[in-house]
C-alpha cells in the first residue's frame, strides 16, 4: 500500500511540473505573437468629422488603407508584418488634386440642422451652394487650366490698362468678395486700373452697406469703386452705367460669381492692343454650383439657333491641327455675354448696349451681330481662363413679370436680321404682334456705322448655321464642316467600372435596391432582404458614381435619393465612402449621407445628416 501511495505521489508531482512548463511556454509564445490590437479591427467614430480626420477617401498609389473591413484579426496570430503585406493598394489622383478635392469635401459636409437651413435657403435665393462658399477662402487656389504652351508666351511690355466692370443684383456676399479678390490677386497691378462694382438696386438686407464697409476696412477703395443704381435697371443698362464710370483703356465685363485664373488678363489686353476692333473672350471654365469644384472647359465656340438662344458648338474642322493652334485666338460667331473685353472707345463708338432692352436676355447676340456686321471681330482667347458658377437657374426675373428674353430678342430680330427675322418669328408665332419698343435709334446707328447685312454675316462669319429651308445636301455639308462628337446613348455609354458590391445596412441583412425595377428613372430606393441579384448589385465608376445593374445612377435628392440617368457631372451623383464595413456613404452635392429612419423591410432610403450615424452606416459586400 505504501509503495502504491509513493508511485501515485510521484505521478502527481511529474504531471504538475509538466503542466507548469507547458503553460509557461504557451504564455511566452502568445506574448511574442500577439499583435497590437489597435492595428486590426475597424472602428467607426460616432461623428463623421472625427471619422474624416482618421480616414482617407482617396489614397496615393502605394499607400495602405488603414481600415479595410475584410482584414480582421484572425485568432490573434497574424503578425504585423504579414498584415502590412496583405493590405490592398488603392489608386488615386496626384496630391494637388487630392488636396483641392478633399478641401471641398470637408467644407461641403452639412454638420447640423442650422447648416442645412443655410444651404437650402441659399439654393432658393442664389441657385448654388452658399454653405460651401461661406467656408471657402476669398483667396483659394484653383487649378491652372491653361495649355502648357501659354506659359511660354511673351506679351508686349506696354499693354493698355483695364477697368473691370461687375454688375450684380442680390449676389451672395461671400461669393462676390471671392470674385473681387481673385481679380486683385491674379491681375498685375499696372494693368488693373480699377474694379467698378455696379449694384443694380439689390434688396438683400445690408448687402450694399456690408460691402461698402468691407472695402473701406480692407483699404480697397482706391482700386474697387462701388456704385448703386437709383432703381432696378437690369444687367444691360447697369453695364452701360458701369462703363460710363470706368477710366481704363479697356473695359472687361465679368459676372459677379466668377474666379479668374492665372495669367488671365494679359492675353486679352494683348489681343486688343494689336487691333482696337478685336473684342475678346476668355475660355469659361466651370465652377460646380453644388461643390464649387473647378474644372477645365474644352475649346468650343459660340453660336445660336433660330429661337435666338445662345449655344456652344464644336469648332470647324482644321481649327486645332497643330499644338500651337491650341493657344491661338479662335473666331466665334457669338458670345455667351457674361465675360468679354473691349476697347473702351470702341465700345462707345459702336453704340454700347441697346439701352431699350430690359433686365436680361438677347443682349449677347445683339452685340455679337453688331461687332461682326459693323467691322469688328469676336474671338476666344485660349490662354485666358475664367471660372464661372453655372447656376441651376437664373434666380431673378423682371420686376413686372415681363418676358424680357422675348422682348429683347424681338428688338434684335427687327434691327439686325433683315428678312431672316422670319425664321425667328416662325418659331415664336405669339411674338409677331408683340410690342418691342422704339428701335429707330438702333436702326439709325446701323446706317451710320455702314454695317453689312445679315446675309453677309451668315455667309462670312457663320456659314455652318443650318437654315430651316436647307436641303439634305446642304445640311450634310454644314454638319461635316464642324468637328462632331461621337454620340453614345446614355444607357449604352462606356464607363470605367472600378468596383462592384451590394450595399447592406450595417448590422442587418437588408440591402439597398430600387423600389421598382432597375430601369425605372425616378425610382426611390428601399431596403429588401439581401439576395444575390442584379437588383442589388451596384457598380462604382472612376467618377465615383454608383450605378445600379450598370444602368441608372444613384442621385441625391431632397429628401430622398433616386435612380436617374448618369449625367457624368459629379455633384448629386458623386459619392464617397471608406469601403468595407460601417461606412457612411456621402454625397458631395447634397453634403449629406444615405440613411433610413427605421430598420425594416421596405424602409425608404433618405438623405440624412452624416453627423448622426444611427442607421446611416453601411457594409459594402463583395460577393
DSSP-assigned states of every residue in 583-608: B--EETTTS-EEE-SS-STTPBPEEE
Q: How many domains does the chain have?
A: 2
pLDDT > 70 in the chain, percent: 81
* Mean pLDDT to the nearest integer, 417-430: 94
Same domain for 381 and 526, yes or no, is: no
Q: Look at residue 261 and tell me whether its pLDDT is greater than 80.
A: yes
Give the end of a domain, one of 391, 419, 446: 391
Q: Look at residue 192 and tell me whether its pLDDT is greater than 80.
A: yes
Same domain for 203 and 339, yes or no, is: yes
Q: Look at residue 287 and tell me whether its pLDDT is greater than 70.
A: yes
pTM of the predicted model as reported, rounded to 2 decimal places: 0.78
- Nearest Cα residue to 287 out of 389, 144, 365: 389
Max mean pLDDT among 71-75, 353-357, 500-504, 579-583 falls in 353-357
* Mean pLDDT to the nearest integer, 173-196: 98
- C-beta of residue 76 within 8 angstroms of C-beta of residue 589: no
pLDDT in tens, 11-38: 555 555 555 545 444 444 343 333 333 3
Give the end of a domain, one of 391, 420, 448: 391
pLDDT in tens, 588-610: 888 889 999 888 999 999 999 88
* Mean pLDDT to the nearest integer, 540-549: 90
Same domain for 362 and 225, yes or no, is: yes
Q: Look at residue 280 and tell me whether its pLDDT is greater than 90.
A: yes
pLDDT in tens, 316-337: 999 999 999 999 999 999 999 8
**Is residue 138 situated within a structural domain?**
no
DSSP line for 344-368: HHHHHHTTSS-TTS-BSSSHHHHHH
Range of the domain at 592: 495-621
**Is residue 274 situated within a structural domain?**
yes
**Is residue 304 situated within a structural domain?**
yes
Instruction: Give the span between the Cα atoms of 342 and 359, in whole angstroms.
Output: 21
Q: Look at residue 61 and tell me whether its pLDDT is greater than 70.
A: no
Same domain for 373 and 239, yes or no, is: yes
Give me 316's grid cell.
470647324
pLDDT in tens, 92-114: 333 344 565 566 667 778 888 89
Q: Which residue has the higher pLDDT, 478 or 307?
A: 307
Give me 434's grid cell.
408683340
Q: DSSP letter at 573?
A: G
Instruction: Give the span between the Cα atoms of 389 and 286, in whole angstroms.
Output: 6
**Residues with Cβ within 8 Å of residue 435, at least 6 apart in sequence:** none
Same domain for 242 and 386, yes or no, is: yes
Same domain for 384 and 532, yes or no, is: no
Give the end of a domain, one of 391, 426, 446: 391
Same domain for 360 and 500, yes or no, is: no
User: Residue 85 belongs to what H/E stretch?
Assistant: helix 80-86
**Is residue 42 situated within a structural domain?**
no
Please list the residues that pair with 259 across neighbouring strands: 387
**Is residue 234 situated within a structural domain?**
yes
Same domain for 158 and 273, yes or no, is: yes
Length, in residues, of the chain: 623
Give the residue carrying C-alpha cell 442607421.
Answer: 615
- Classify the C-alpha dihedral 184-187-190-191 as positive or negative: negative
E-assigned strand segments in 201-264:
224-228, 250-254, 258-260
62 phi and psi angles, rounded to 5 deg: 100, -20
Q: Look at residue 526 and tell me whether its pLDDT is greater than 90.
A: yes
Give me 478's grid cell.
454644314
Per-position b or e across 509-522, b if 16+ CB within 10 A of its CB: ebbbbbbeebeeee
Q: Which residue has the higher pLDDT, 23 or 427?
A: 427
Would you place residue 129 in the very low, low, confident or very high pLDDT band (cuts 50, 70, 90)? Answer: very high
Same domain for 373 and 507, yes or no, is: no
Can you give the CATH number for the domain in which 539 is found?
Answer: 2.80.10.50
* Mean pLDDT to the nearest integer, 146-160: 96
Would you place residue 42 in the very low, low, confident or very high pLDDT band (cuts 50, 70, 90)? Answer: very low
**Is residue 235 situated within a structural domain?**
yes
Same domain for 201 and 317, yes or no, is: yes
Would you place residue 70 in the very low, low, confident or very high pLDDT band (cuts 50, 70, 90)? Answer: very low
**Is residue 480 situated within a structural domain?**
no
Same domain for 329 and 189, yes or no, is: yes
Can you give the CATH number for the domain in which 323 is found?
Answer: 3.90.550.10
Q: Which long-range contacts (CB under 8 A, 24 or more apart) does 304-307 make?
A: 304/333, 304/334, 304/365, 304/465, 306/423, 306/424, 306/426, 306/427, 306/468, 307/424, 307/427, 307/428
**Is residue 294 situated within a structural domain?**
yes
Same domain for 386 and 506, yes or no, is: no
Instruction: Give the span between the Cα atoms of 127 and 389, in whole angstroms.
Output: 10
pLDDT in tens, 217-227: 999 999 999 99
Amino acid at each position: 500500500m505504501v509503495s502504491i501511495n509513493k508511485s501515485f505521489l510521484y505521478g502527481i508531482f511529474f504531471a504538475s511540473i509538466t503542466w507548469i512548463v507547458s503553460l509557461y511556454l504557451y504564455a511566452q509564445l502568445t506574448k511574442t505573437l500577439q499583435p497590437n490590437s489597435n492595428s486590426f479591427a475597424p472602428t467607426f467614430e460616432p461623428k463623421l468629422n472625427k471619422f474624416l480626420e482618421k480616414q482617407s477617401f482617396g489614397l496615393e498609389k502605394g499607400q495602405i488603407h488603414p481600415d479595410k473591413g475584410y482584414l480582421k484579426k484572425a485568432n490573434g496570430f497574424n503578425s504585423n508584418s504579414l498584415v502590412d503585406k496583405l493590405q490592398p493598394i488603392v489608386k488615386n489622383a496626384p496630391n494637388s488634386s487630392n488636396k483641392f478635392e478633399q478641401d471641398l469635401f470637408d467644407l461641403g459636409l452639412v454638420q447640423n440642422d442650422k447648416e442645412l437651413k443655410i444651404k437650402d435657403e441659399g439654393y432658393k435665393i442664389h441657385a448654388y451652394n452658399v454653405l460651401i462658399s461661406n467656408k471657402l477662402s476669398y483667396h483659394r487656389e484653383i487649378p491652372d487650366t491653361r495649355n502648357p504652351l501659354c506659359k511660354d508666351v511673351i506679351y508686349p511690355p506696354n499693354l493698355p490698362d483695364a477697368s473691370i466692370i461687375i454688375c450684380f443684383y442680390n449676389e451672395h456676399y461671400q461669393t462676390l468678395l471671392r470674385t473681387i479678390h481673385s481679380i486683385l490677386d491674379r491681375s498685375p497691378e499696372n494693368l488693373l486700373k480699377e474694379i467698378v462694382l455696379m449694384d443694380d438696386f439689390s434688396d438683400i438686407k445690408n448687402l450694399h452697406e456690408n460691402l461698402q464697409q468691407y472695402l473701406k476696412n480692407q483699404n480697397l477703395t482706391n482700386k474697387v469703386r462701388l456704385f448703386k443704381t437709383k432703381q432696378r435697371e437690369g444687367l444691360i443698362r447697369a453695364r452701360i452705367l458701369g462703363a460710363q464710370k470706368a477710366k481704363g483703356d479697356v473695359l472687361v465685363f465679368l459676372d459677379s460669381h466668377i474666379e479668374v485664373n492665372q495669367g488671365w488678363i494679359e492675353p486679352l489686353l494683348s489681343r486688343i492692343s494689336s487691333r482696337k476692333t478685336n473684342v475678346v473672350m476668355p475660355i469659361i471654365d466651370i465652377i460646380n454650383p453644388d461643390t464649387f469644384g473647378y474644372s477645365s472647359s474644352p475649346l468650343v465656340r459660340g453660336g445660336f439657333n433660330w429661337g435666338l438662344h445662345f449655344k456652344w458648338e464644336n469648332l470647324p474642322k482644321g481649327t486645332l491641327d497643330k499644338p500651337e493652334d491650341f493657344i491661338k485666338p479662335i473666331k466665334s460667331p457669338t458670345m455667351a455675354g457674361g465675360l468679354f473685353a473691349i476697347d473702351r472707345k470702341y465700345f462707345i463708338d459702336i453704340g454700347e448696349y441697346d439701352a431699350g432692352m430690359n433686365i436680361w436676355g438677347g443682349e449677347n447676340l445683339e452685340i455679337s451681330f453688331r461687332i461682326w456686321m459693323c467691322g469688328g471681330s469676336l474671338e476666344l482667347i485660349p490662354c485666358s481662363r475664367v471660372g464661372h458658377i453655372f447656376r441651376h437657374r437664373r434666380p431673378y426675373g423682371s420686376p413686372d413679370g415681363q418676358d424680357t428674353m422675348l422682348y429683347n430678342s424681338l428688338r434684335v430680330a427687327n434691327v439686325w436680321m433683315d428678312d431672316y427675322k422670319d425664321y425667328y418669328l416662325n418659331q415664336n408665332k405669339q411674338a409677331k404682334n408683340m410690342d418691342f419698343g422704339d428701335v429707330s435709334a438702333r436702326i439709325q446707328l446701323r446706317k451710320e456705322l455702314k454695317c453689312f447685312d445679315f446675309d453677309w454675316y451668315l455667309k462670312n462669319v457663320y456659314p455652318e448655321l443650318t437654315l430651316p429651308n436647307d436641303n439634305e445636301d446642304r445640311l450634310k455639308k454644314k454638319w461635316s464642316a464642324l468637328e462632331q462628337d461621337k454620340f453614345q446613348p446614355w444607357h449604352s455609354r462606356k464607363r470605367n467600372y472600378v468596383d462592384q458590391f451590394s450595399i447592406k445596412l450595417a448590422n442587418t441583412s437588408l440591402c439597398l435596391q430600387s423600389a421598382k425595377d432597375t430601369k425605372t428613372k425616378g425610382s426611390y430606393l428601399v431596403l429588401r432582404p439581401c439576395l444575390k441579384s442584379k437588383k442589388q448589385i451596384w457598380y462604382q465608376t472612376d467618377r465615383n458614381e454608383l450605378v445600379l445593374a450598370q444602368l441608372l445612377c444613384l442621385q441625391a435628392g431632397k429628401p430622398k435619393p433616386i435612380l436617374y440617368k448618369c449625367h457624368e457631372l459629379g455633384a448629386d451623383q458623386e459619392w464617397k465612402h471608406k469601403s468595407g464595413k460601417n461606412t457612411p456613404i456621402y454625397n458631395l452635392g447634397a453634403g449629406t449621407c444615405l440613411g433610413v429612419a427605421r430598420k425594416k423591410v421596405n424602409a425608404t432610403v433618405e438623405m440624412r445628416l452624416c453627423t448622426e450615424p444611427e442607421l446611416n452606416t453601411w457594409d459594402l459586400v463583395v460577393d
